[in-house]
Structure 1
Amino acid sequence: MAKYGIIRMQKFHKDAITGIQKHNQREGENSKNKDIDSTRTMFNYDFVNEDKIKYHEEIKKMTATRVKRKIRNDAVLVAEFFVSASPEYMHAMSPDEQRKYFEAALDHISGKYGQQNILYATVHNDESTPHMHVGFVPITEDRRLAAKDYFHGKTKIRRIQDDFHNYMNKRGYDIERGEPSELQHKSVHEFKKQEREKELKQLEQQVAHKEKEIQRMDSFVELKKAPPVEIRSEKRIEELCIQPIEIEAAKTVRGSKVKVEETDFHELLSFSKELQQTLAAEHERTNALSREIDRYQKENKALKHDLKETKQELQVYVAHQDGEVEKAKKRMREKLVHDFSAEQKENVKDEVKRELDKQYEAHISSLSDDLTIEKQKHEKTKKELVQANKMNDSLTKMNIDYIENYVPKEELDKANKEVDELRKENKTLKAWKEKALNWIDKHVEKIKQVSFFQHVGGIQKRNKRQDQEIER
């Protein structure tokens, strides 16, 4: 018989407190949880509380007077121990012995983590294996709510198993350690899942054994259905032995019947009695086999009925386990979301912000380089416009001087034509200058507002279009 003690620890945050309260105190969940036998719920009890309590209210009372700092929203409010033993060991104990076992376990937890911190110690006798849920609020001696001080690190987690095993051995319980220390700590749900898988394996083995018995019963049924062998009764054989033996023979002068010698008669009589005994023994054995076949038929019928019920239970159990697995996956996803502390969220936000700032600075630096190039082009354009204006003014002055002096009509017409062309050119240059200044002012302001997420691939195309406009 396997004899090992079981203790598991699981931490709960604010969002999970109401759920464990409903489970531990059986508040309207008997119809949903297939592991619970509602007819045995009356045998559950709590070592700490006589009546049902509100976990949140009791936690507030404990922390209001004993915790000096403000409690964080992501703080661990309750650390719960699941205490039990191997099913064979638990079922071998009487209810009083089980109660003493749980009392000893509670003494160990209270002594190690503080009696004043214990919130509840609920024993469940309405599930497949009796067990106890012990919840305590992790308040430290320096008045802090800090579960890490009790359970931070693999060493402290392993010590939960070691200390429990050593204490229960000292209290007289010959149990082995629940599992090797190198195995990963498992939650209460994972432990229950393993226990249900063991029970499922046992049920499958029972089904296989009953199927073999049914096959054996079927062979006996086939034997009984075989045509019966005709056997004379003892009375009829005795009558044959009492009657004189006559031997048929061919008719002679002395008649159709003859008498045998006395020695032959006695030999035939002895043979007849021996045959009678053999037939009687065979008859008794046949009757015994007939009775045994009837008994096996009844057993076969009962086994078929049991097998049918077992298969139905197995189907229900497998469907329930599949549902529990899906629920566990859903709770795990929710737990991952809830357990992501505010500090971790702030760290991620800071990291993302630093990365965005880094990219933004790189983008602004690139934009600054582009803006510098645009300014240089702008200055160059301004210088070219100034030189063009100077040249235009110089030509105008030269034309005036030339006109003031004597100029032939042909040359004057030619000069007037050149002046008109220069004026048009000057007007075009001024218009282009105004357009360039407006474009620069407009696009420089727009560049400042461009998000750095639009920078990749956009600057080169924009520069290309600007160069083309400048060339035009």
Structure 2
Amino acid sequence: MSYSIFRVQGIKTTSDLRGIGKHNADRISDTNLDIDKEKSSENIELVKCDSYLKRFSEITLDMRREHEERMKTTRSDRRKSFEQAINGAKNDVACEFLFTSDEEFFKGKSKAEIQSWAQDSLEFVTDEIGLSHDRIIHASVHMDEKTPHLHIVAVPLTEIYDGRRKENVLTISRHQFIKTKDDLSSLQDKYNERMNERGYVLERGTPKEVRHQKVHA
């Protein structure tokens, strides 16, 4: 039986985000030799994106405004640009989800059937993880590699209470959506259950299967 594979990793800086955009959207990679450019036209875009950094700027516009407002009352020697602040923080600037299975699962499936599987996976991110569509930069299925797989890049932007400032502030925090490894494991269980409820016959991927599927090269 095939496995349901779902994993997530953080994207540390806007420079990293731009690089992932080149891989996911432009299909440029110096290390991934599996990309068949002749099949790239078959890739499926569920959420289109022309520029990862432009979309990131749109999603974080209110956070940028909050930051710039705070800087007005910050000592000049401690002021940072918005880019300096987010790239220098411990938090990720975005995160990337990967959904896939094995060759046997996709064997014989039409492009429409693969798109339906991908849409079910995207809805899992919005429904179960809580990242709304307006936080998603790009969602695409790569059909030009050995096994189809769905990449979803999103900004885990949320509002939290800042005890020091005594107010709610916008922050980018994957931890607010997936707090621990146990929470991730629970979500992987839920993903498997959801996909089987939708009619797919899949075993829950173990850490071994998940580890053998890289998010990107």
Provide TM-score, normalisation by structure 2: 0.76
Instruction: List runs of 5+ in structure 2 lacking aligned partners.
Output: 68-81, 161-169
Correspondent of 2:114 among 72, 89, 98: 98
Instruction: List runs of 5+ in structure 1 lacking aligned partners.
Output: 194-327, 329-472
Richer in strand (by share): 2
Secondary structure of 1:79's match?
A: strand
Change (3 A) 1:95 1:151: same
2:141–2:148 contact (8 Å) kept in structure 1: yes
Cα-to-partner distance string for 1:40-78 (whole Å, 9 max, x where unaligned) = 0110121111xx522122112211225645643233111
Within-5 A mapping of 1:57-456: 57-66=54-63, 68-69=66-67, 71-72=85-86, 73-74=88-89, 75-111=91-127, 112=129, 113-142=131-160, 143-179=170-206, 183=207, 190-192=212-214
Change (3 A) 1:5 1:147: same
Residue 11 of structure 2 is aligned to residue 9 of structure 1: no
Larger radius of gyration: 1
Give, in angstroms, the shift of residue 19 of structure 1.
1.2
1:78–1:137 contact (8 Å) kept in structure 2: yes
Task: Name the structure 1 match of 2:75.
Answer: none
2:11–2:95 contact (8 Å) kept in structure 1: yes
Q: What is the alpha-carbon distance in structure 2 between the residues aligned to residue 26 and residue 33 of structure 1? A: 13
Residue 70 of structure 2 is aligned to residue 55 of structure 1: no
Secondary structure of 1:108's match?
A: helix
Q: What is the alpha-carbon distance in structure 1 between the residues aligned to residue 143 and residue 2 of structure 2? A: 19
2:44–2:140 contact (8 Å) kept in structure 1: yes
Q: What is the alpha-carbon distance in structure 1 between the residues aligned to residue 28 and residue 209 of structure 2? A: 30
Secondary structure of 2:50's match?
A: coil
1:150–1:156 contact (8 Å) kept in structure 2: no
Give, in angstroms, the shift of residue 116 of structure 1.
2.0
Task: Name the structure 2 match of 1:314.
Answer: none
Change (3 A) 1:13 1:65: same
- Measured on the aligned residues, the alpha-carbon RMSD in Å equals 2.4
Secondary structure of 1:121's match?
A: strand
Change (3 A) 1:186 1:85: closer
Give, in angstroms, the shift of residue 186 of structure 1.
5.6
Change (3 A) 1:152 1:32: closer
Change (3 A) 1:35 1:186: same
Give, in angstroms, the shift of residue 162 of structure 1.
1.1
Provide TM-score, normalisation by structure 1: 0.37
1:36–1:126 contact (8 Å) kept in structure 2: yes
Change (3 A) 1:33 1:154: closer
Give, in angstroms, the shift of residue 184 of structure 1.
7.7
1:110–1:118 contact (8 Å) kept in structure 2: no
Residue 22 of structure 2 is aligned to residue 26 of structure 1: no
- Partner amino acid for 2:213? F
User: Structure 1 vs Structure 2: percent identity of aligned residues?
Assistant: 27
Change (3 A) 1:56 1:38: same
Task: Name the structure 2 match of 1:43.
Answer: 42
Change (3 A) 1:25 1:192: same
Secondary structure of 1:140's match?
A: strand
Secondary structure of 1:107's match?
A: helix
Change (3 A) 1:22 1:86: same
1:84–1:131 contact (8 Å) kept in structure 2: yes
Give, in angstroms, the shift of residue 4 of structure 1.
1.3
Q: What is the alpha-carbon distance in structure 1 between the residues aligned to residue 195 and residue 187 of structure 2? A: 12
Point out which structure has higher relative CO (alpha carbons under 8 A, 6+ apart): 2
2:156–2:174 contact (8 Å) kept in structure 1: yes
- Partner amino acid for 1:191? Q
Q: What is the alpha-carbon distance in structure 1 between the residues aligned to residue 100 and residue 34 of structure 2? A: 16
Q: Which is further off, 62-71 or 72-81? A: 62-71
1:157–1:185 contact (8 Å) kept in structure 2: no
Give, in angstroms, the shift of residue 13 of structure 1.
1.2
Change (3 A) 1:32 1:192: closer
Q: What is the alpha-carbon distance in structure 1 between the residues aligned to residue 208 and residue 176 of structure 2? A: 20
Q: What is the alpha-carbon distance in structure 1 between the residues aligned to residue 203 and residue 159 of structure 2? A: 33
Change (3 A) 1:41 1:191: same
Task: Name the structure 2 match of 1:359.
Answer: none
Give, in angstroms, the shift of residue 185 of structure 1.
9.7
Q: What is the alpha-carbon distance in structure 2 between the residues aligned to residue 115 and residue 170 of structure 1? A: 23
Q: What is the alpha-carbon distance in structure 2 between the residues aligned to residue 94 and residue 185 of structure 1? A: 24
Give, in angstroms, the shift of residue 178 of structure 1.
1.0
Change (3 A) 1:77 1:99: same
Q: What is the alpha-carbon distance in structure 1 between the residues aligned to residue 145 and residue 126 of structure 2? A: 25
Change (3 A) 1:80 1:192: closer
